[in-house]
Amino acid sequence: MTLVHDLLVRVRRTPERLLHPLRRRKAVAALRARPRPAALLVVCHGNICRSPLAAELLARAVAPFGIVVRSAGLIGFNRPAPAEAMAAAERHRVNLSDHRSTLITAQLARADLIIVMDPTQRRHICERFGRRPADVILLGDFDPGPVETRTIRDPVDQRRDVFDEVYARIARCVQGLAAVLAGTKS
């Protein structure tokens, strides 16, 4: 049963793997065609695992350009990062011990560019806050390697190895995104 299930999952993800290079080129070209953003907002579901790490890594990478980076979530408020998230973040030299989740607001959603973890979050932000799809990008589209999905998996309530895998992918994607932002005109 597991072998059949694994095979079906791989077959279903084949289009994603094939489309990734095209989506990456398209995302890079679209970002290069616009002025360098002054403010970025990184969003995930709860703002306790993925977006805090991505925002901190991105803030470090774009600091020379004076870009402001914040993070928020679609649910919850004032929640700490789980212990697994803090431990995995420490392995990336990021301290999440003082982080508390922030709920996305209309004011935060005015950022020049919003970075999300999956297409559902993108759709939600565009509908709820009236943002154009071009202003809401998927972080996973900037992964330089071959990927099975553009969605960056939510590691909440998962094992350490899942957090490490997800955080390594976030770091790769942030590095790719930051390289594009560094090349845009201010």
Active site residues: 44, 50, 154
The DSSP line for 70-102 is EEEESS-SSPBPPHHHHHHHHTTT---TT-B--
The whole-angstrom separation of Cα 112 and Cα 38 is 7
CB-CB neighbours of 34 under 10 Å: 13
Question: In terms of Cα–Cα distance, which of 101, 5, 16 is closest to 53?
Answer: 101
The whole-angstrom separation of Cα 71 and Cα 50 is 10
Six token digits for residue 52 = 């805090």
Q: Do residues 170 and 56 touch, judged by C-beta distance below 8 A?
A: no
The whole-angstrom separation of Cα 57 and Cα 91 is 12
